Chain A
Amino acid sequence: NAGVTQTPKFQVLKTGQSMTLQCAQDMNHEYMSWYRQDPGMGLRLIHYSVGAGITDQGEVPNGYNVSRSTTEDFPLRLLSAAPSQTSVYFCASSHKLLGLNEQFFGPGTRLTVL
């Protein structure tokens, strides 16, 4: 199993550009989440999904969109990037019996918005 994979590993955007961060998992986990990690602020939940076709907002959802058309994939879209979205983004998945609690994280995407 590859576990949770994310692409790209690094990305530089200009203010106003859009892009999609990709996340995929091959563990047949129902739950998937996106977090952002900023220095001194820990990991903050952006959006999450409890199954295909179901998404919900986390702590910091503004400026981000998600969709979940399959169990395996959970892309994160930035519609109009802003410098405040410079961060490291982690995707995570977990088994439905454990809820969102025991998270398996992907390797992360380091995003810089100029």
Chain B
Amino acid sequence: GENVEQHPSTLSVQEGDSAVIKCTYSDSASNYFPWYKQELGKRPQLIIDIRSNVGEKKDQRIAVTLNKTAKHFSLHITETQPEDSAVYFCAASTGTGTASKLTFGTGTRLQVTL
């Protein structure tokens, strides 16, 4: 099955700096790569996703890049703010429709300090 590795497990940045979280996946058939943000005590929420036919996607201060050859994808957060502090999960999915399943990484705890 699919295996997703995520690094680092914790990340501390100063407000205004950039943060980068990296994930690798094992199944070359994976075709969908979402990122979820989970604030303390809350539910995970989708913040951005990318599909295998796209190399980069941006939404305001967050962006995701995908390198299918190397089987890795990354989340980039620019101009970090205290409200960006949370746990971020990457995931990879193979298949479509009834055949699709999400495999999650183990999470990165991002701390944005003032």
> Whole-angstrom distance between the alpha carbons of A44 and B45 in the complex?
16
**Any chain B CB within 8 A of the CB of A107?**
yes
| Chain A residues within an 8 Å CB radius of B93 | 99-101
Some 25 contacts from A to B, beta carbons below 8 A apart, are A40-B9, A40-B107, A42-B104, A45-B101, A45-B102, A48-B101, A50-B97, A50-B98, A58-B101, A90-B43, A99-B93, A99-B95, A99-B96, A99-B97, A99-B100, A100-B100, A100-B101, A100-B102, A101-B32, A101-B34, A101-B100, A102-B34, A105-B44, A106-B43, A107-B42
Binding site for A on B (CB under 8 A): 1, 6, 9, 32, 34, 42-46, 49, 89, 91, 93, 95-107
Closest B residue to A97 using CB positions: B97
| Chain B residues within an 8 Å CB radius of A68 | none
Are A103 and B102 neighbours in the complex by a CB distance under 8 Å?
yes
Are A42 and B89 neighbours in the complex by a CB distance under 8 Å?
yes
Max count, chain A CB within 10 A of own CB: residue among B43, B97, B100, B104: B43
Binding site for B on A (CB under 8 A): 40-45, 48, 50, 58-59, 90, 96, 99-103, 105-108
Are B1 and A59 neighbours in the complex by a CB distance under 8 Å?
yes
| Chain A residues within an 8 Å CB radius of B105 | 42
B63 CB to nearest chain A CB (Å) = 19
> Whole-angstrom distance between the alpha carbons of A100 and B97 in the complex?
7
| Chain A residues within an 8 Å CB radius of B89 | 42-43
| Chain A residues within an 8 Å CB radius of B101 | 45, 48, 58, 100
| Chain A residues within an 8 Å CB radius of B9 | 40
Among A41, A45, A59, A107, point to the contact of B43 (Cβ < 8 A): A107
> Whole-angstrom distance between the alpha carbons of A40 and B103 in the complex?
14
CB contact under 8 A between A40 and B43, given known A58-B101, A101-B100: no
Other than the given A99-B96, A101-B100, 5 more pairs (CB < 8 A) read A48-B101, A58-B101, A101-B32, A105-B44, A107-B43
